[in-house]
Amino acid sequence: KWANEPAYAAIAAAGAGDTARAASLAHQALRLHPAWPEGHVFCARAALDGNQPQLALQHIAQCLARSPNLWNARALQVAALAAPAS
């Protein structure tokens, strides 16, 4: 049922350690499911990996607006705030 769903594929890519693919698929999934907070987590992780902490913070803010207690978003928030400005 979920095999062709980009959110499912994003979770699978993240589980396999493919941050860039997870983010790409999460962007697709967020167009279909804009209230999916974990999609923003995947996008934030890729932004941090790409040395874009401000973009990461934008995704984190959208995630935390929907799920303020999501621990991995909070951890990414700390990492983004501690990252050197690009």
Please give the average pLDDT of every successive group of 10 residues along the chain, which has 86 residues: 83 94 95 93 95 95 94 94 84
* SS3 of residue 11 by DSSP: helix
CA distances from 11 to 24, 54, 64, 82 (A): 11, 23, 18, 26
What's the pLDDT score for residue 84?
85
What's the pLDDT score for residue 4?
82
What's the pLDDT score for residue 14?
94
What's the pLDDT score for residue 85?
72
Is 59 in contact with 40 (CB distance < 8 Å)?
yes
